[in-house]
Structures are given as structure tokens and as C-alpha cells.
Structure 1
């Protein structure tokens, strides 16, 4: 088995027909090792969202392969792909996507119940404690702050012990202090329980919480930084933005 939890090999994604084809990903090859935190950055229109959707099995690449542990995603039926995402992939988005009539605990345990799995009290207790919401389990989302709602979303993503968690701009709707709390929680999930996290972000400060930052431009990987600082990421993005603008990237 590959040491990478997720591996993309020569992935291309093209939208439209032959006359109006748009290439969103252009031969991307990259792996994400277990228990690592990777940030994905790039100018608007660089292919970040398409990259995340293909890596997470939400969209099928036009060509190339996506491996999740021992599974080649392109070979799975839609039913099997849905089951794999439910059981082995966690998702956290900028919009918290909580059910407003469900309590914190019911929102967190929803993936288990949808899968027909028994909800073990000790697992729920552990995950709620991990995100600092043990005392809020009976509250409704509307009774929580934005940061607390995002922590519920993270707990929901962690409850199935997924192979990988994909986060799409998870701090985009949060203030600076609350964003820092959420990023510390993602960082702790990597360091303390060995979670693998892949996060799309536009924020150099958010990216500095990752082990490495990979940069996309015009659908291609154009560089990476290991042990990033916010300053180094911002500088790289400044140059990347200038390069992308001159290359006609939208």
C-alpha cells in the first residue's frame, strides 16, 4: 500500500466540448501522506476547487488516477463512491452545513446514523471533548457562535475516523480569533490523533498552520513550501499572482 492516504497521478479535468473546452486541472501529480496537514493555495481560477473535488471523489477527473488508500476512485460505481466518501472521507466547508433543528450531538452523529451504524456513547463523548463542545451537546446550531458551529462541523467530519479530511476555506466566515481556534483544532487533529488534513485556503495565516503549502496556477502545481510561515506564503502568493495575471489566469 502506498504511504500516501490520497494520491493523484497525472490528473486532468476538462469542462465543455471540443470547441469550448476549459482545462481546470492539467496533469496534476501529488500525494498526501498520513498524519500530515497540507494547505492548497492559488489565484482565483487556478483550479483549487476542482482539485479538492477530484481528490475527494466528489467529481471524476477526465483522465489520470485518484487513489484513496487502496481504492482507485475512477473504478468505483456511484453507489460505492458515495459509500466510500461517507465512511472514509470527512468534509468541512466555509458554510457549516448543520441541520438547524438537530442538536449538536445529533448533527455530529448524523454520518453514523445515515450509514446505519451504531452510535457508541464513548465515541461521541470523545469527539465532542476533542472539539471542546461536551457541555453544548444539547444546544441547537442557532444557539452557538460561528466558531462553535464550525467545531460541530469538524466533529461531524471526525466521527467516522476518516482516512482524510478535506477542508474548503474552513475559516472564511470567521473572525481572526475564532479562525485561530479552528485552525488549532485542525492542527491538533493531525498531531494528536494522526488525522490527514487537506485544506484549500486563500489566507496565508491559515496556511501557516499546515506542514506544507502547495500552489496551483492555471490548473498546474507550480511549487510548494515546507514548514511555511505566513510571511513566506504571502510573498509566494504575491509573485504567483503576478505570474498568473501575466499568463492570463482568471
Structure 2
């Protein structure tokens, strides 16, 4: 994002930070749901940076804070305290309208459930983020990104005519069309069979290596996580280490230890 684009997005008084190699940074982020005796601490002082052009998997036992991490990092939820900086923009400085605009223009999302509109063609589903941002989709750009995900021949198809793997490819193309600063994936292979999941992960890997995109993926699957450059582990709302250049075996072993530690803590 250029300085002019940031100024146009933020307006007066907002806090923009440039020059960092990190596209996402969480600074002492704490997220608490509820209050009093019913308060639940989902994130407890998380500080971490995610580099541009990297593929990061976020893992942890159930209730570790993975989903809350993604929601806060992507500007879908606001932290109780701490700060999130995304593409040089401090999110706390944005009102809801500007935050919505930033999500549309600078963030791509890929979900487990695809979230395609059944009445729209593949081409129109991919172009939808541009229309929501008030921009007319460039036909050539839409067709090019669909070629990249292997669906150049299905422009006029509707989601119901596609397999689950093909629908997820459309979702990835939709996430890529705005050339976002970062793509967030929430269990993007969770509804797919093993072979199709491998193909989808290869597409995300290609987006990082071939196009310099940044991907942050929440997953419970060690095989999926092994496609990343880095696996970040959460436990009880805190960062509990990481693995660089992960293998399936190392990730699975770490998850087993985290699960055992959680079980022991619950039994005390």
C-alpha cells in the first residue's frame, strides 16, 4: 500500500506505520469475553509479527485462542487491550467504516465453508470483493486469477455445479483478486478430502512463492501445517513456541505434547 493509498483510506488523525517487513503485528494483545466471574480470557498478552511473503500456520488445542487470534489479526474483532498493526495501519485508529474498507481492499479470506453465493457464476463470485469496494471487476484480471487456480474453463458455472475442491479454488481466487496484503485462512482444508486438500494447500503455497502473497492459516491438521514456513503454537491464549520449516512429524509431536499438558492441567 502506498502512502497516498494509506492517507486516502485513513483520513486525518489515523496512525500509519510504514517500512516494516511485517505485514501483521500483534502487540500485547489481550481479548476477554464476558466479565466478572464469567470472564473468559481468549488471548493473554500475545505479541508476534508475521513477515511479508510468508506462510504461517497457527495451531493449538481446542480453546487455545486460534480463532480469536485470526479474528483480531484480521480486524474482525477488536482486542480488549494491546494493538494490531496490519499493512502499516494501526487498526485501533480506524472507525468501523474505514476498518471495513481496509478488510475489503487489503485482506483476503478463505473459510472452511467456502462462503460462495449460489446464485452467482464463478466469475461473479470472484469479482464480488471488487464490486463491494465500489470498483468494477476487470474481466481479464478475474479470468487470469481463475486460470491460476485451474478453473479458467468454469467462468459461467455456479457453485452448485462444482466439487468441494473446485469451490475452495473459487474462494482462493476471490481472496486473491484484490491483491491483498494478507490472506487469512480459517481451516481452509477442513471440509476437503486428503487429495483435494493437498491441491488447495499447493495453491496457497504457490501464492506465497510465485506471487509474494502472505498467508496466515489456522488449522488443526499437521499435514496442512507442514506446507507453511512457520508454525505458531498457542496454548491457553498465549504463544507457546514455534517451528520453522516444519515437518508433519515435528508438528504432530508438538501438538501431542500440548494436548497432554492441557489434559494434565485440567485434571489438577
1:83-122 to structure 2, matched below 5 A, reads 83-122=101-140
In structure 2, C-alpha distance between the alignment counterparts of 1:80 and 1:241, rounded to whole Å: 40
* CA offsets 1:28-49 (integer angstroms, 9 cap, x no match): 0011101100000000000000
1:186-197 to structure 2, matched below 5 A, reads 186-197=204-215
Alignment correspondent of 2:13: none
TM-score (norm 1): 0.98
Q: Tell me, which stretches of 5 or more residues in structure 2 are unaligned?
A: 1-18
* CA offsets 1:42-77 (integer angstroms, 9 cap, x no match): 000000000000000000000000001221101110
1:136 match: secondary structure: coil
Maintained 8 Å contact 2:57/2:225: yes
Alignment correspondent of 1:231: 249
2:192 match: secondary structure: coil
Counterpart check, 1:136 vs 2:154: yes
Q: Which has the higher contact order (CA 8 A, sep 6+)?
A: 1
Equivalenced residue count is 249
In structure 2, C-alpha distance between the alignment counterparts of 1:92 and 1:187, rounded to whole Å: 14
Counterpart check, 1:212 vs 2:230: yes
Q: How far did 1:96 drift?
A: 0.6
Alignment correspondent of 1:47: 65
Q: How far did 1:115 drift?
A: 1.1
In structure 2, C-alpha distance between the alignment counterparts of 1:88 and 1:18, rounded to whole Å: 36
Alignment correspondent of 1:58: 76
In structure 1, C-alpha distance between the alignment counterparts of 2:35 and 2:209, rounded to whole Å: 45
1:121-200 to structure 2, matched below 5 A, reads 121-200=139-218
Computed over aligned residues only, the root mean square deviation of the Cα atoms, in angstroms, reads 0.9
Alignment correspondent of 2:35: 17
- Structure 1 runs of 4+ aligned residues shifted over 6 Å read none
Q: How far did 1:212 drift?
A: 0.6
Deviates more, 1:92-101 or 1:114-123: 114-123
* CA offsets 1:163-216 (integer angstroms, 9 cap, x no match): 000000000000000000000000000000000000000000000000010100
TM-score (norm 2): 0.92
* CA offsets 1:119-169 (integer angstroms, 9 cap, x no match): 112211210111111000100001000000000000000000000000000
